[in-house]
Amino acid sequence: MTSPAKAAPGRGGVGDSPVRPDGTLKVTGEFAYASDLWTDGMLWGATLRSPHPRARVRALDTAPALARPGVHAVLTHEDVPGRPVFGLDHPDQPVLASDEVRYQGEPVALVAADHPETARRALADIAVEWEVLEPVTDARAVAADPDAHRVQERGGIVRRQPIRVGDVPAAKQAAEVVVSGEFEVGIQDQAFLGPESGLAVPADDGGVDLYVSTQWIHKDVAQIAPCLGLPEDKIRMTMAGVGGAFGGREDLSMQIHAAMLALRTGRPVKMSYNRQESFFGHVHRHPAWMRYEYGASGDGRLLYADVEIVLDGGAYTSSTENVTGNAASLGVGPYEIPNIAIDAVGVYTNNPPCGAMRGFGAVQACFAYESMMDRLAAACGLTPVEVRRRNAVSQGSRMATGQVIDSPAPLAAMLERVDAMPPPPAADASDLRNLPGGVAQTTHGEGVVRGVGYGVGIKNICFSEGFDDYSTARVRLEVIGGEPAALVHTAAAEVGQGLVTLKAQIARTELGVDRVTIAPADNAVGDAGSSSASRQSYMTGGAVKAACEAVRAELLARAARRTGRDDLSVSGGVVVSRAAGAVASVAEILGDDAIEETREYHHRRTTALDPVTGQGDSHTQLALCVHRAVVDVDVELGLVKVVELAAVQDVGKIMNRLSLEGQIHGGTAQGLGLAVMEEIVVSGGVVRNPSFTDYLIPTILDMPPMRLDILEYPDPNAPYGLRGAGEPPTLSSTPAIVAAIRDATGKALTRVPVRPEHIVG
């Protein structure tokens, strides 16, 4: 296949690894994050939050705060100009609590002051009279009796999604081997390093200009506008520098609050959470309780799965419906099972609010189904790799939803490849950093046992269940300084994943030009959808490709008119005839004119899941990752050193190897965190560790070197054949590491994160 355009070799087109524009700035500390925003005359906003997970607001007196010198505004729910609630999928979360707070940290009042310290003191001046109520904290109790545990008007259940395939009772009679287990996943936090921050500037037209770190500009604006009582075109939003997202910026945080303060005071207002507040300022990964029973033939071929999953969404809907849908549709992973009964339920409680986080419902289920595959292997006397290989899906297999996998799914081959990788050498115990505990010197080798484990994960790419998922790109080609230059404009959020780099690569390849500028992301161009669901290379990549193709078509049409030839392509800024070679430069064709095209890219439509049977072609694309983890465990102290993580991932097409490897490393590290340390610990709805002192994320001494084997089986439905890559490694690294710890210790380890007490207990 020949393309009518290509980037000159090595000039940063698709498949190259050009250096990302923000990389050096971030490493040297010069990158401007949203928390660095500054403008003359700005005020500082601050948020009063509930100390209680559930309480009634009996009285609230803002007068003492307003009286403090330097305070310009104190706002409560009575000051919300428009709709009092917002939400991603259902507007049920109060902008500011009115009668009742439903989670610890729920915003109650806002202050704008001329100094952040003044704002903070003014918060303390606000007198709130609380009537503390008993919080609802047992998600399983809500699932069992939702009416008895109603947290809000919508009730106790966010969504119940069953999956029914075949005849599970009959299969239970036929099974020769039965394994079962209960599993739990604790609350993981995105732990992005750049806290929620932004600047709201009141505009002359009565609207507001917002500069924020977000994941989805248009969805933000669509939620903000009704709460402010403004039309959407009065809200202009521009991406500010994002310090990580991982799903935690998909819900609103300070956006409406800062806009309210700016509109009230007529001054620019900056809000920036500190680390502790950030733990209360965004949703987390849903904690899960899961009961699994599998039956199989004696040779380890699965006959049935009987599964119950309870996800705790906290007090407001956020993304819980879709997280629950994912947990159901991906509840048994990439394995062929003829008889399936899954009941996945997401509930409301007064625990911390949960929503989108990398892996989105698939992570929780993956820990359980992979743990089950190891139990099945043990029961059948098979190796973990062999039992997975025997049940692995492939192209043409049916998922639990009945959806047929219609593009490559080379799981068996991936398992064989990871199994064939050489094992890492024994640890060099002469350097403490190679041992569990590191330089804290808990062992010189005593008690250390090596273990090996495997994990497989499957993740839906792009939005599912009938959502019309699309992205928009505007591309302009013109001559600047005698050279053809492209300008690419989208609203897609660069959250660190490297999309800005990739968009330029696509433009270079499709337009055959070297110079590409990426315009700041804002809502002056159409919706790009969210930077989540591993979808932006696919969706915004697809939109940029389509817009570039339209620009190129116009360019070549002009060139054809000028040259009388119809065998033209463009490369390296030159229009080339297949027969006659170079015929004109792009600059000559364009002259002083510019070509600008805007295109939307929609992925093929999906369908909803049947509410009774859970059947439906709900996913656009599915992506696989396989991990092998090698760990050294100090079995006497319960401390773990992950020695090596090997991964095999199919990405369809390597668009930028450097960025891709970064995504696989990062996703794997986040899965490692969930496996052995990351948890928001909650007691009675109250968070006990809202700090990086006690919410631990992996350091360089925790994350081992990785061995990567990246495969390219093209998906014919996707741009360039690519497959979304950011989330799959987050799924499979967790169960692989826990399996390796089980291998070393012989412990059942049914809960993540695994704590030392679980290993020595």
Partner 1 sequence: MDFLRPATWADALAAKAARPGALPLQGGTDVMVELNFDVRRPAALLDLSGIAELRDWEEDGPVLRIGAGVPYARIIDELGARLPGLAQAARTVGSPQIRNRGTLGGNLGAASPAGDGHPPLLAGGAAVEVESAARGVRTIPVGDFFTGVKRNALESDELIRAVRVPPAPGPQYFAKIGTRNAMVIAVCSFALALDPVRRAVGTGVGSAGPTPLRAAAAEEFLAARLDWAGRGPLDAGVAREFGELVRAAAAPIDDVRGTAAYRRHALSVLARRTLGWAWDEHRADTAREAS
**Binding positions for partner 1, rule: CB under 8 A:** 120, 274-276, 433, 436-444, 446-447, 636-639, 641, 676-677, 681, 688-689, 691, 693-694, 696, 698-702, 755-757, 760-761
- Name which of 98 and 276 has its Cβ closer to partner 1: 276
How far, in Å, CA of 212 to CA of 201, rounded?
11
How far, in Å, CA of 522 to CA of 541, rounded?
17
- Name which of 439 and 580 has its Cβ closer to partner 1: 439
Helices (H), 624-679: 657-676
Q: Considering the complex, what minimum distance in angstroms separates the CB of residue 443 from partner 1?
A: 7
Q: How many C-beta atoms lie closer than 10 Å to residue 199's C-beta?
A: 26
Tell me which amino acid residue 124 is.
A
Q: What is the total residue count of the chain?
A: 761
Q: How many C-beta atoms lie closer than 10 Å to residue 755's C-beta?
A: 16
- Name which of 559 and 639 has its Cβ closer to partner 1: 639
The tokens 């609050």 sit on which residue?
A: 257
Q: Considering the complex, what minimum distance in angstroms separates the CB of residue 51 from partner 1?
A: 13
How far, in Å, CA of 171 to CA of 173, rounded?
5
Q: Considering the complex, what minimum distance in angstroms separates the CB of residue 707 from partner 1?
A: 20
- Name which of 50 and 161 has its Cβ closer to partner 1: 50
- Name which of 74 and 680 has its Cβ closer to partner 1: 680
- Name which of 696 and 711 has its Cβ closer to partner 1: 696
Q: Considering the complex, what minimum distance in angstroms separates the CB of residue 693 from partner 1?
A: 6
- Name which of 346 and 638 has its Cβ closer to partner 1: 638
Cis previous bond, 753, omega within 30: yes
Q: Considering the complex, what minimum distance in angstroms separates the CB of residue 348 from partner 1?
A: 25
| Residue 145, φ and ψ in degrees, nearest 5 | -145, 75
Among candidate residues 212, 258, 204, the one with its CA nearest the CA of residue 238 = 212
Three-class SS of residue 655?
A: coil
Find out whether 321 and 328 touch, Cβ atoms under 8 Å.
no
Three-class SS of residue 650?
A: strand
Query: Kind of pairing, strands 177-185 and 751-752?
Result: parallel
The secondary structure element, H or E, covering residue 648 is strand 639-650
The beta strands (E) that lie in 351-501 are given as 448-461, 470-480, 483-489
| Residue 741, φ and ψ in degrees, nearest 5 | -70, -40
The secondary structure element, H or E, covering residue 736 is helix 728-745
- Name which of 180 and 699 has its Cβ closer to partner 1: 699
Chain centroid to CA 213: 15
Sign of dihedral through CA atoms 628, 632, 634, 640?
Answer: negative
Q: Considering the complex, what minimum distance in angstroms separates the CB of residue 683 from partner 1?
A: 9
Q: Considering the complex, what minimum distance in angstroms separates the CB of residue 675 from partner 1?
A: 12
How far, in Å, CA of 418 to CA of 441, rounded?
32
DSSP letter at 641 equals E
Among candidate residues 262, 245, 357, 313, the one with its CA nearest the CA of residue 93 = 313
- Name which of 120 and 164 has its Cβ closer to partner 1: 120
Q: Considering the complex, what minimum distance in angstroms separates the CB of residue 429 from partner 1?
A: 12
- Name which of 437 and 466 has its Cβ closer to partner 1: 437
Q: Considering the complex, what minimum distance in angstroms separates the CB of residue 700 from partner 1?
A: 8
Q: Considering the complex, what minimum distance in angstroms separates the CB of residue 441 from partner 1?
A: 5
Q: Is residue 5 left, alpha or beta, with left meaning phi > 0 and alpha meaning psi from -120 to 50? A: beta
- Name which of 238 and 689 has its Cβ closer to partner 1: 689
- Name which of 173 and 693 has its Cβ closer to partner 1: 693
Three-state DSSP string of 67-122: HCCCEEEEECHHHCCCCCEECCCCCCEECCCCCEECCCCCEEEEEEECCHHHHHHH
Q: Considering the complex, what minimum distance in angstroms separates the CB of residue 130 from partner 1?
A: 20
Q: Considering the complex, what minimum distance in angstroms separates the CB of residue 439 from partner 1?
A: 5
